[in-house]
Amino acid sequence: MKPHLIILGAPGSGKGTQAAKLVEKGYKHISTGDLLRAEIAKGTELGQKVAGIISRGDLVDDRTVMALLKANCDVDKVSYIFDGFPRNIAQAEMLEAELLQGKKTLAVYFKIDLSILVSRVVNRRTCSKCGEIYNMATKPPRVSDTCDKCGATGSLTQRKDDTEEVVSNRLQIFKDTVDPMLAFYKSKGVLVELDASKQEKDVFSALEKVIG
Ligand code: AP5
C-alpha cells in the first residue's frame, strides 16, 4: 500500500483541487470540511452544533472532528489523502496516536504566498452534484452555470464561509497554527514542500514527483 498523504496548506492553496486528481491514482480522498458540511446539509445534531462555527471560519473542536474522521475511514484498506486534518498540533498528534499508529505517511505542504488566497477563495464555485471545483476568475465552466464534468446545470454553488471577511479569519487561524505542525512532520522525516502558486497542472506534476 502507498503511504497515506497528509496535505497541509492554507484555505485556497489547492488541497481539494489536487486531492480530486489524485483519486484517479487509487487514493481515497477524505476532507473533514466536506464531512462537516455534509452533516450540516443533513441537519444532524452535529451539523447544527458546527454550522455557526464554520460560517464564522473558526475551527470545530479537535475531539469532534477526530471522531468524525475515525468514523469515516479505514486506514488498513486503502491509502488516504487527508485534506483539512490536521489543523493544529493537537490534531496531528491525535491522528498519529489514534488512527495512523506508525503507518507509512507523507506530509505534503502546499506552500503559497497567503496574499493571493482571498481572491482565489471568494471566486471559488463547487458543483453540488459531482464536487468539481471552479474559479470564476481563472477557471470558469465552459458553458455558464453548467458543470463541465457532470453536465449539471444550476449546480455551481458558493460556500457560505467563502466571503472576504470569513476567509481572512480562516487565513489568520492557519498562520497561527501551521508552524508547529510543520515542525512535527519534519521531525518525523516525512515532510515535503511544494510550490502551490503555480498553475494547477504544474502543481499536480510536482505532486506526482514527490509521491513517486
Ligand atoms: P475546509 O473545507 O477544510 O476548508 P479550507 O482548509 O479552508 O480549505 P479550502 O477548501 O478553502 O481550500 P483548498 O485548499 O481545498 O482549495 P481549493 O482546491 O478548493 O474547512 C472548512 C471549515 O470546516 C473550517 O474553517 C473549519 O470551520 C471546519 N473544519 C474543517 N476541518 C477541520 C478540522 N480538522 N478541525 C477543525 N475544524 C475543521 O481551491 C480554492 C480555489 O482556488 C478554487 O476556486 C480553485 O479553482 C482555485 N485553485 C486551486 N488551485 C489553483 C491553482 N494552482 N492556480 C489558480 N487557482 C487555483
Q: Which of 2, 15, 201, 209 is catalytic?
A: 15
Provide Rg for the chain, Cα atoms.
17
What cell numbers appear for 47 in the block? Answer: 451539523
Atom of ligand 1 nearest to the CA of 58: 27
Confidence of residue 192 (pLDDT cuts 50, 70, 90): very high
Confidence of residue 13 (pLDDT cuts 50, 70, 90): very high
Atom of ligand 1 nearest to the CA of 87: 34
Query: What value does the mean pLDDT of the chain take?
Result: 97
Q: If you average pLDDT over residues 171-189, what whole number do you get?
A: 98
Q: Rounded CA gap, 151 and 156, in Å?
A: 11
Q: Rounded CA gap, 146 and 149, in Å?
A: 9
Ligand 1 centroid distance, CA of 15 (Å): 6
Q: Which domains does the chain have, with CATH numbers?
A: 4-113+166-211 (3.40.50.300)
pLDDT at 40: 97
Q: Rounded CA gap, 206 and 38, in Å?
A: 31
The 10s digit of each residue's pLDDT in 72-81 is: 999 999 999 9
For residue 108, the Cα-to-chain-centroid distance in whole angstroms is 12
pLDDT at 173: 98
142 is in an annotated binding site: no
List of residues 6+ apart from 104 with CB closer than 8 A: 1, 2, 3, 4
The fraction of the chain above a pLDDT of 70, given in percent, is 100
List of residues 6+ apart from 143 with CB closer than 8 A: none
Ligand 1 centroid distance, CA of 10 (Å): 7
Q: Is 141 in the pocket of ligand 1 (CB under 6 A)?
A: no
- For the question of residue 170 being annotated catalytic, the response is yes
The 10s digit of each residue's pLDDT in 109-142 is: 999 999 999 999 999 999 999 999 999 999 999 9
Q: Is 105 in the pocket of ligand 1 (CB under 6 A)?
A: no
pLDDT at 212: 84
The 10s digit of each residue's pLDDT in 31-40 is: 999 999 999 9
Residue nearest to atom 9 of ligand 1 (CA): 11
Whether the pLDDT of residue 61 is over 90: the answer is: yes
Closest CA to 91 of 112, 77, 111, 107: 107
Omega into 86 within 30° of 0, i.e. cis?
Answer: yes
